[in-house]
Structure 1
Amino acid sequence: MIRLSWTQPEDLVPHALEAARLDGRDAAAIRDRWTAAGGSTTAPVSGATPEPAPEPLRALARELLDDLDRLPDPAALQANEPDDLGPVLALAAPPELPEPGNLQDRVLGAWLGRAAGCLLGKPVEKIPLDGIRAIAKSTGNWPLHGYFTEQGLDPDIAARHPWNRRSRPTSLAENIDGMPEDDDLNFPLIALHLLERHGPGFTTDHVAQAWLDLLPGGRVFTAERIAYRNLLDGVEPDRAAAVRNPFRDWIGAQIRTDLYGWTRPGLPVEAATLAWTDARLSHGRNGLYGAMFAAAASSAAVTGASVDTVLAAGLSVVPARSRYAAAVARGIALAAGDLPDEAAIDALHAEYGHLHWVHVLNNAALLAFALARGAGDFHRTITLAVSGGWDTDSVGATAGAITGAITGAKALPAEWTAPLDDRYTTSVPGFAGATFTALAARTLEASA
């Protein structure tokens, strides 16, 4: 029996009820119908419960998911967190950015930084904060100063906090042999494919077709998997994000749009527009803003702007009264405060720990904290990002990409880049045998 995660209707209802609560939509009557029928309101963290629900309950789940889709949004939510591009960018005012220089080195730095940050976070993805700290301390790697290892790891700690199953064979220091496949690197390849094939005028329909052509359904997760399923069910791309999708405010879109910024250096609004076109296939509101923030920040980073300016560029394309903007501002404020690193991260977890570990808001706050406190130091930034927990590989990747772009490839620490061996293993068609050097060159060509 296959219990495919992020698709089972009885498992989606608890997530959808929580999404409604966070949005301020009144789902009390729907919740009552669900619990009266025997449905659970505990959302499965891993995306699927071990056993299927009885068919009558599954049928009710599908009905209630549709009812949840029809709940009206509060007026304040509509005003503060619009989905349409026009209202989102109406007040965009990016900071003045320097003239881009040495783009080849900065784009390569972005690719290598993204890979190194992702690789650092891969083995501890899904492991709670206390587990990450226990593993690192047990192996003499705390504060983090290198890739994770299991050499010297206390067996009791290993049993309590097992490594990410898929990443352990490829992502521990003793196993690294080039950059292994990861969705945080595959999605930028899809973005590059879109620009190479269609140019900057690509549409959301083009994004949908690229997914169907290049990505197996098993390689996408949460909101992306829901959108993929909806496409196969005949839902048009401009509606695929809105049908039975409780993950629209999660992190998936934020991990796939850096490249749009790399190809629009010094043009954060243009980069954010490309990101919105991509992200709207699967996300809404804060999920969209995460994608736009990452693209705009990346556009500033490849100019060599300061971290403060990069963060300002990212925030310039995000609605000021949105929850996303508040999360980024909170991360920046904590970075500027007097709390030591661990205490500041504990404060973030106290404030945002009620959210799922791949929600966009908690991870955005952590990303902003790592970037601001890292202040352009690549080593410090990626270790802060990953040691903060939650979606470790994704936050590590975005933090690494932005800081790598600011730093440039030549100045990146060899202890982080040498194990990559300038190689990325991917199953995305058209990118077999990819080297980061070649990907950077193709990225620059797509910028023209």
Structure 2
Amino acid sequence: MFDQNRPSTQNLNRAEYLDKVLGCWTGKNIGGTLGTPMEGKRDIFNVTFYTQDQKGVPAPNDDLDLQLVWLQAVEEHGAEHITERLLGEYWMGHIIGPWNEYGVGKVNISNGLVPPLSGAVNNDQWKNSNGAWIRSEVWACMFPGSPDEAASYAWMDACVDHADDGIYAELFTASVEAAAFVESDIRKLIEIGLTKIPADCRVARSVKLACSEYDAKHDFVDARNAIVKENEDLGWFQAPANIGFTILGLLYGEGDFGKTVCAAVNCGDDTDCTGATAGAILGIIKGRSGIPKEWIEPIGETIKTVAINPFKLDVPKTLQELTDRVARVAFETWVRNPTLIPISDAPTAIDDAYRAKLLSSGAVAKRLWQRSSMILRYPLPYGCFNIQYVDGPIAKPGEPLRIKLWLNRLVLDDKSVHCRWELPEGWTAEPGCEVAMLAHHGNEVVKEVILIPGEFGGAYEYVLLEITLAGRFNPEYITVPFQLTGCVQNDHRQNTQDHWDARNRLSARRASRPL
């Protein structure tokens, strides 16, 4: 299936790789099941093992089952063909979970605000939340030892329903998890993750605070409270604090699997997420063979889903089946991408130069965190047409909106591209409805247009843009969506808190009833 004799100074032993992938999914199931009863609670806990009898079955957890959708997308299209728009369509077709940012992303896509707009628009309350970083393991397992590659796919994944720190959080976890296939030192892994996100973002601040609390030998509860205080302006169910809790678990757990997942969960808040990610990271480091059996036996080997439509998706029944499918994709991807670390029967060999490279931010990471959630990319037969909403896609009649246009990934060279806006009645454009640009291979020419909206016919207007390449008689057409200001209201934060408060009251009443 692939050439094991291709020259490389690096290598991952196949058996070790498979053990680590299985360890990842096992740790994910364990941590998620451990944290499920505490999810949404703001208390500090003191759990040391499962608090529920699972009877050999794990708790259903969207942290894992959302990744099954991405796996099928890669299986059906190949990793090289994955885009944020394609993942958005798989999201619409397979994911039924309506919660918070998941629901916002689906509504936005339904209204034409496709990824990455879907994660940034109408989403101020949840764009920095936890729904993305909890589903990063699939990219790490597909690109073991290659954190930049994993982070690139994590960006496309996260932007479907997140922006800003919601995206940075997944860049961080995907990078840490991918690096964990070749690096076992927790502090070095944290350092690698920090090189892949902006140094001043909220996720980075929480990670650094967790490290400083641990280095100062502060009590675990005091460290947890420091993370809460640092992020109290963001509120609960937000990525910066919960990433911080996950790091506290990894640090204060000091390499012990049980202590690690319990410490992450004991911080409270989004406990199934923090426990699951801490378990997955340690599962990669230790491999399935290094996870204590007493943590595996109570939940068994199956996969239970909660947020996906099982009738339209090929859901693996066991962790081993999931491992085999992910590994098959990783092998096939390596064949097509010679920059990736080979996976073969030879012993694992990672040299010092490669390890040092993992700690470098590099061009890929910087390009990712500078990537705008306000740029739509439209593939054309001869290149990729880009539209940037400088002022965002939410419009008010009479107020100008700056739009930037450019063409890149051009197959041809030195070609004039003619663009013409077909504006709704009452809309105007400056300097006019038509603009021409000279497109060069590898040299982007950006044109700025100012649209002045008129009245909207409804909540949305879909403005037609005609694009014609010089020498071609057939134009290409794309629609550019705009949303009328004030037409969408989103009060999910209070609704969500009401939900968790009601659920916790119900749980307390059940616990108080005599048997």
Instruction: Indicate which of 84, 91, 106 corresponds to 1:228.
Output: 106
What amino acid does structure 1 have at the position aligned with 2:294? Answer: E
Aligned pair partner of 2:18 in 104, 115, 135: 104
Q: CA deviation at 1:98?
A: 8.1
* Consecutive unaligned residues in structure 2, runs of 5 or more: 1-8, 332-515
Distance 2:254 2:12 in 1: 20
- Which of 320, 325, 346 aligns to 2:225? It is 346
8 Å CA contact retained: 2:23, 2:283: yes
Aligned to 2:120, which of 224, 238, 242?
A: 242
Task: Note the C-alpha offset of 1:304.
Answer: 4.5
After superposition, residues 144-293 of structure 1 pair within 5 angstroms as 144-148=47-51, 172=52, 174-201=53-80, 202-216=82-96, 219-246=97-124, 247-293=126-172
Once the two structures are overlaid, the 10-residue window that deviates more, 299-308 or 380-389, is 299-308
Partner secondary structure for residue 132 of structure 2: helix
Q: TM-score, normalised by structure 2?
A: 0.59
* Partner residue in 2 for 1:375: 254
AA aligned opposite 1:100: L
Give the SS at the match of 1:430. Answer: coil
Q: What are the residue-to-residue correspondences of 1:425-444 with 2, within 5 Å?
A: 425-426=304-305, 427-428=309-310, 429-432=312-315, 434-444=317-327
What's the CA shift for 1:352?
Answer: 2.5
Distance in 1 separating the partners of 2:101 and 2:117: 13
Where does residue 411 of structure 1 map in the other structure? 290
Partner of 2:33: 119
User: Which residue identity does 1:145 align to in structure 2?
Assistant: T
Residue identity matched to 2:67: P
**Cα distance in structure 2, aligned partners of 1:443 and 1:221:** 27
| SS across alignment from 1:252 | coil
Overall identity of the aligned pairs, in %: 29
Deviation at 1:308, TM superposition (A): 1.5
For 1:146, give the aligned amino acid: F
8 Å CA contact 1:425–1:432 kept in 2: the answer is no
Letter in 2 for 1:435: T
For residues 33-182 of structure 1, the aligned pairs below 5 Å read: 99-101=11-13, 102-130=16-44, 133=45, 142=46, 144-148=47-51, 172=52, 174-182=53-61
2:185 is aligned, of 271, 287, 306, to 306
Letter in 1 for 2:43: L
Distance, in Å, in 1 between the alignment partners of 2:287 and 2:119 is 36
Note if contact 1:336-1:372 (Cα within 8 Å) is conserved in structure 2. Answer: no
Q: Which amino acid aligns with 2:152?
A: T
Residues 415 and 220 (structure 1 numbering): CA distance in 2 closer, same or farther, change over 3 Å? Answer: farther
Cα deviation code 1:407-448 (max 9, x no counterpart): 110110112111221011225443446100110111111112
Count of residues in Structure 1 that have an aligned counterpart in Structure 2: 315
Give the Cα–Cα distance (whole angstroms) in 1 for the partners of residues 317 and 216 of structure 2.
42
Following superposition, the deviation at residue 354 of structure 1 comes to 4.0
Q: What does residue 164 of structure 1 align with?
A: none
SS for the counterpart of 1:355 is coil
Structure 1 residues not aligned, in runs of 5+: 1-96, 134-141, 149-171
Largest Rg, 1 or 2: 2
Distance in 2 between residues matched to 1:400 and 1:266, nearest whole Å:
18
**1: CA distance between counterparts of 2:326 and 2:276?**
17
Give distance in 1, aligned partners of 2:31 and 2:214. Answer: 19
Paired AA for residue 239 in structure 1: L
Amino acid in the other structure paired with 1:122:
T
Tell me which protein shows more strand as a share of its residues: 2
Instruction: For 1:277, give the aligned amino acid.
Output: M
Query: CA 1:299–1:98 in 2, change beyond 3 Å: closer, same or farther?
Result: farther
Corresponding letter in the other structure for 1:445: R
Q: Distance in 1 between matches of 2:290 and 2:192?
A: 23
Residue 275 of structure 1 and its aligned partner are, at CA, apart by 0.3
**Contact residue 336 and residue 373 of structure 1 kept, 8 A:** no
